[in-house]
Amino acid sequence: DAGITQSPRHKVTETGTPVTLRCHQTENHRYMYWYRQDPGHGLRLIHYSYGVKDTDKGEVSDGYSVSRSKTEDFLLTLESATSSQTSVYFCAISGGVTYEQYFGPGTRLTVT
């Protein structure tokens, strides 16, 4: 299994509070991604990174920001959480050569 961890694994927070999710990899892969998984939608890309300090938006980036100060860490921040951001969040990594991505175990976030 690819060395990917996510923290926290579960979080309950209140509307309007900031939340930061962390993805940590030990594979030294260049590309990292944040997805959200919702019933009936599959997985949708939030943001991705193609190197340290290099990030870009995905399909559903509104209300989210990301940062990558080290190769191994990719942070997802909800500046002011809303109930519509209740979801399961998955981090993924890729070496980029053969396009497959490897996923972390996920973070279940509930915004009340």
Partner 1 sequence: GNSVTQMEGPVTLSEEAFLTINCTYTATGYPSLFWYVQYPGEGLQLLLKATKADDKGSNKGFEATYRKETTSFHLEKGSVQVSDSAVYFCALSVSPNQAGTALIFGKGTTLSVSS
Residues 69/74/79/82 CA torsion (nearest 10 deg): 180
Min dist. Cβ of residue 112 to partner 1 (A): 22
Token pair, residue 35, equals: 């997805």
Rounded Cα distance, 103 and 112, in Å: 27
Binds partner 1 by CB under 8 A, chosen from 25, 66, 104, 111? 104
Decide whether 99 or 112 has the Cβ nearer to partner 1: 99
Please report, as ranges, the residues that interact with partner 1 according to CB under 8 A: 30-31, 33, 40-45, 48, 50, 54, 56, 58, 90, 92, 94, 96, 98-106
